Amino acid sequence: MRSRPNSINRRGFLRLAAVGAASLGLPNLVFAARTSKNKPNVLFMAIDDLNDWIGCLAGHPDVKTPNLDRLAAKGVLFTNAHCSAPACNPSRASLMTGILPSTSGVYHNPNPWRKSPVLKDAVTIPQHFMAHGYSAVGGGKIYHGGFPDPPSWQDYFPSQQNNKPDDPMPPNRPINGIPNTAQFDWGPVDVPDEQMGDSQVASWCISQLRKKHDKPFFIGCGFFRPHLPWYVPKKYFDMYPADKVTLPNVNENDLDDVPPIGRQMARPEGDHKKVIEHNQLGRVR
């Protein structure tokens, strides 16, 4: 991690993130020139459920993330960063507005965040950029799936109402051998990368970056994977043979000091127990 002053502010962070993402996040592209010396273009990328499982953060010894590692090497790597909520909707609403769940009252995925009295008129990051002379477009999963926010964008892929492209689904689900497992499923789909939703989002973002722009731009690029279910082309499963996966150390008393609401969210009788009972831990990856 490169040494940077601890007092870096939000504007400074966005500028650094923009430069790093623009220079490496989508390789071999020629980016539109800045229309103002003080207004860099911004590519904002969100990756769902990634955790610290990338090479430069060393969160898991098996992962192969060369592009993210190259991006981190050319920018600023925050190794002590935390989300404000352990669930998608409140975390994303908080990130995009700067308002904590404890202030907004949005604690769970089913809470429509714009119906919170605190967030009803909150200014999101892209809205802030638009108010300062930027265009703002997005694609993929930036906000939680059921609650897109058209006021945040001038255009969206695939649409302002449906923010996430559909993924190919295998027949006869679930396919991992665990009955009644709902989304906690995995297996290969016989399709090329181009048919996957995330690939469609990446292609759309590339097309936006290649356009000629008459003003500085903010582009939101949201990737759904590695969120479950893990239905991806077979080549990605081949990268991680089941007999070579490093399995986690599981502390049998791990939830003893967790309050009841936390144990309820962890669901010790749910997915993890099913995986153990059906001898599938090595295949979960």
How large a percentage of the chain has pLDDT more than 90? 69
Give the integer Cα–Cα distance in Å for 225 and 247.
20
Alpha helices in the chain (DSSP H): 10-20, 66-73, 88-97, 101-104, 125-130, 197-210, 234-238, 260-266, 271-277, 281-284
Question: Do 261 and 158 have their domain in common?
Answer: no
The residues near 39 (Cβ < 8 Å, ≥ 6 apart) are 132, 133, 134, 216
Instruction: Give the domain range for residue 49.
Output: 10-81+123-240
Q: Which of 115-129, 179-193, 232-246, 266-280 has the lowest mean pLDDT?
A: 266-280
CB environment 54-74: b (16+ within 10 A), e (fewer):
bbbbeebeebebeebebbbee
Question: Do 200 and 173 have their domain in common?
Answer: yes
The answer to the question of residue 279 being in a domain is yes
Residue-wise pLDDT for 104-132, tens only, equals 999 999 999 999 999 999 999 999 999 99
Q: What are the beta bridge partners of residue 46?
A: 222
Structural domain count of the chain: 2
Catalytic residue among 128, 144, 205, 221: 144
Beta strand residue intervals within 55-179, DSSP E = 135-140, 155-157
For position 15, which CATH number holds? 3.40.720.10
Residue-wise pLDDT for 79-105, tens only, equals 998 889 989 999 999 999 999 999 999
Question: Do 153 and 30 have their domain in common?
Answer: yes
The answer to the question of residue 67 being in a domain is yes
Question: Do 141 and 217 have their domain in common?
Answer: yes
Give the integer Cα–Cα distance in Å for 15 and 204.
23
The answer to whether 213 is a known catalytic residue is no
Catalytic residue among 88, 128, 205, 221: 88
Question: Do 156 and 24 have their domain in common?
Answer: yes
**Integer angstrom CA distances of residue 251 from 190, 239, 247, 254, 255:** 37, 28, 13, 5, 9
Give the integer Cα–Cα distance in Å for 1 and 56.
9
Question: Do 258 and 234 have their domain in common?
Answer: no
Question: Do 233 and 269 have their domain in common?
Answer: no
Question: Do 72 and 187 have their domain in common?
Answer: yes
Quote the pTM value: 0.83
Whether the pLDDT of residue 186 is over 50: the answer is yes
Beta strand residue intervals within the chain, DSSP E = 42-47, 135-140, 155-157, 186-188, 217-223, 230-232
